[in-house]
A and B are shown apart, each in its own frame.
Chain A
């Protein structure tokens, strides 16, 4: 996952991640990419379009 520099670490993505794979720190966002099934829900709910699939 590409996290854009304007991410505000609100954690909405983590809340909808069905596999609980997103760790939100104060100024970083860490995805457990190994277990990600690319459902894209995190990208869909982001209030500021800060997430982009890493293709």
Chain B
């Protein structure tokens, strides 16, 4: 069996669905496939997004997929010195919300379907070969093998990022650039303020951080990301220790375990080739400091989807035409990713004592906004070492 389509999107996460929606809205024929039997499950994510990010994508909030509106952030250093950034103290709270990814992802895919995209679930891409006018992708679904002929393939297959590599793009993540993450969703969590997301820094999560993101009165995602190059223990072992020792989670019980990789090495230089584009986690479209990649991946998806439809209507599927996606991505998310790469590298040099000193110094700082940029700007003010490394960037 051979299916033909203008655009084939492989992977129906938020980035893939956004690309499929915008490509279909642009008038192209779109097929999107996902290997899973349920879009959005299991989640591989702490589920936090900024309100401004959703707005920039033109997505209206829906109570069906929002579990918590956030009021601020709490940062906790190794000796438990904490820094609060909450709306009562700050004039411009640019906060966010916690999603229910299992519902959110499905809604994004439904939007793509309503825009005209065809969706195939439980369908795995097993390989692809270049043809004169596109790609021939081999796929399997429920025991049946078939091929899909596409003029443009949009690779949105997540941190595995196999599809772009089949097409010759180098999207392999090195272990030093791949956070290894483990998370429980828990009930009975006793947070000091269950409208704030919490970040724990230091040896509790070597090479990353631990988090508690509230999803309800006593429900939260409790997780951490580590770099395997920085510790001999697994992410899961670190998580068990964190949960056992943290006052907020000592009496909590898990109802779900999530694990996965998060590429924090930034975007590869080359994101397109003739008839091929790569988006989302597969393209490293993740803030390397926070590991957050929902909004940035969807932004990549939006840019790619629109341009892919334009390329189809103009009949120009060359790398030269599609390169506009690389340029626009660089502007929209790449510059910021590159800055945060520097901050991440700086954070990796700090030991527990230095993190405690920063938290101490932050006690006297008046924050004006709740944002990562604001935090780094203030960090540069309190730490001469940070000023030296990051002063020019922020």
Chain A residues in the interface with B (C-beta under 8 A): 8, 10-12, 14-18, 20, 22-26, 41, 44-49
Q: Are B260 and A48 interface neighbours, CB within 8 A?
A: no
Given A14-B160, A17-B172, decide whether A49 and B234 contact each other with a Cβ distance below 8 A.
yes
Of B36, B165, B228, B236, the contact of A20 (CB 8 Å cutoff): B165
Instruction: Kindly state the separation between the CA atoms of A45 and B207 in the bound complex, as whole angstroms.
Output: 13
Chain B, residue nearest A27 (CB): B37
Contact code string B240-283 (vs A, CB < 8 Å = 1, else 0): 00000000000000000101110100000000000000000000
Question: How many residues belonging to B are interface residues under a CB distance threshold of 8 Å?
Answer: 33
Interface residues of B in 18-43 (CB under 8 A from A): 35-37, 42
Q: What are 14 contact pairs spanning A and B, CB under 8 A?
A: A8-B42, A8-B257, A11-B260, A14-B162, A15-B159, A15-B160, A15-B161, A15-B173, A16-B173, A23-B124, A44-B228, A45-B261, A46-B180, A48-B182
Q: Are A26 and B159 interface neighbours, CB within 8 A?
A: no
Q: Are B126 and A23 interface neighbours, CB within 8 A?
A: yes
* A39 smallest CB distance to B (angstroms): 10
Q: Are A48 and B175 interface neighbours, CB within 8 A?
A: no
Chain B, residue nearest A10 (CB): B260
Known A8-B42, A48-B235; 15 more pairs at CB < 8 Å: A8-B257, A10-B260, A11-B158, A11-B160, A11-B261, A12-B259, A15-B159, A16-B173, A16-B261, A44-B229, A46-B234, A47-B181, A47-B261, A48-B182, A48-B234
**B44 within 8 A of partner (CB):** yes
User: At the interface, is chain B mostly helix, strand, loop or mixed?
Assistant: mixed
Q: Are A45 and B35 interface neighbours, CB within 8 A?
A: no
Residues of chain A lying within 8 A (CB to CB) of residue B44: 10
Residues of chain B lying within 8 A (CB to CB) of residue A10: 44, 259-261
Residues of chain B lying within 8 A (CB to CB) of residue A16: 172-175, 178, 261
Instruction: Kindly state the separation between the CA atoms of A42 and B105 in the bound complex, as whole angstroms.
Output: 28
Of A18, A26, A45, the contact of B36 (CB 8 Å cutoff): A26
Given A11-B261, A26-B36, decide whether A45 and B178 contact each other with a Cβ distance below 8 A.
yes
Instruction: Kindly state the separation between the CA atoms of A26 and B162 in the bound complex, as whole angstroms.
Output: 15
**B89 within 8 A of partner (CB):** no
Residues of chain A lying within 8 A (CB to CB) of residue B234: 46-49
